[in-house]
Amino acid sequence: MEDKKVLFEVKDLKMYFPARGGKTVKAVDGVSFNIYEGETFGVVGESGCGKTTVGRTLLGVYQATAGDIIYKGKNVRDFNGDDKMSFSKNCQMIFQDPAACLDPRMSIGTIVSEGLNVHYKSMTREQKEERVNQVLSYVGLTSDYASRFAHELSGGQRQRIGIARALAIEPSFIVCDEPIAALDVSIQAQVVNLLTRLQKELGLTYMFISHDLSMVRHISDRIAVMYLGSLVELGDNKSIYGHPVHPYTQALFSAIPEPDPYHSWLKNRVHLQGEIPSPINAPAGCKFCTRCPKATDRCKVEAPALREVEPGHYAACHMLDI
């Protein structure tokens, strides 16, 4: 990726939330990575690992507790006025549940044009209607849908509206937060293929958050694996899926369903013991040590640093020294 420009540079990002009893939920606990222009950066991990929180903090939905988010060479924390408005225009989000994020009282045309009212105030009504029809066509819907309401649409159509809304103000970066999780399996591939086509046609950069490992493999250029708020492995698609080195990544990927029953029986599955610890009381040392079959005494007291194991491939594990 050396020949590509860095769009986002995330350094030691932390996002903590207050909990009852004066305790703290460490949803994201010191993650660092780059996102390059034009790529799809996949983020995977079990529910509660901090995937969505990373995406929302990146866009400023949450104000980071600590760390830096550098966008095109500038720290997002320093943005105000025109810089902040430009950032919000260029960086959008597609949400997981299309039914929950579409106002049932508003027509589809009104929903899609909301961003235009904020970022293109000089647009006439006719120009806005033309833009709405244009982005509806991008996602495979006709202009007739502009007069409909969310409850009249199927799940797949609602997600297409969510995508159209994000595209309306011509962003360059989109966080796709589990965009297919709420859809029927028969519709999921259609939505992913749509996102892939739009990326090529419009020159978009994606952060694709999902627990569907097969889909992440299909769409992503590089992949970050998260566990309990931390980054445990990072690399390109080929490295992560072809040669995972962290015990958690190996266990996660061994659970991917195998379509061939014969090979499924031969597959060397890694079975993890116990439950994911609470982010309020994370284990000392390596957070994965309570479930790792390879854990040593060192793992229980010393947190491993994310380091390069081969060009462009990083992992945080003490067992790499052995």
What is the tens place of the pLDDT at every residue in 277-307?
Answer: 888 988 889 999 999 888 899 999 999 999 9
Strand partners, 308: 314
Using DSSP, state whether 70 is helix, strand or coil: strand
Band (pLDDT 50/70/90 cuts) for residue 97 is: confident
pLDDT score at 269: 67
* Reported pTM: 0.92
Strand partners, 28: 15
Using DSSP, state whether 68 is helix, strand or coil: strand
What is the tens place of the pLDDT at every residue in 250-282?
Answer: 888 876 666 555 544 445 667 677 778 888 988
Amino acid (1-letter code) at residue 136: L
pLDDT score at 265: 44
pLDDT score at 2: 55
pLDDT at 147 over 60: yes
The percentage of the chain sitting over the pLDDT mark of 90, rounded to a whole number, equals 73
Question: Residue ranges of the alpha helices (H) in the chain?
Answer: 51-59, 82-90, 108-119, 125-138, 155-167, 185-202, 213-219, 237-242, 247-254, 261-266
Exposure b/e, 22-33, CB count within 10 A at least 16 = b: eeebbbbbbbeb
pLDDT score at 254: 79
Return the CATH superfamily for domain 6-321: P-loop containing nucleotide triphosphate hydrolases (3.40.50.300)
> Under a CB-based contact definition with an 8 Å cutoff, are residues 5 and 71 in contact?
no
Helices (H) and strands (E) in the chain, counts: 10, 12
In terms of phi and psi (left: phi > 0; alpha: psi -120 to 50; beta: otherwise), the region of 201 is alpha
pLDDT score at 321: 67
How much is the average pLDDT of 34-54? Answer: 95
pLDDT at 26 over 80: yes
What is the tens place of the pLDDT at every residue in 176-213?
Answer: 999 988 788 888 889 899 999 999 999 999 999 998 88
**Would you list the domain boundaries of the chain?**
6-321
Q: What angle do CA 238, 243, 248 make, to 5 degrees?
A: 115
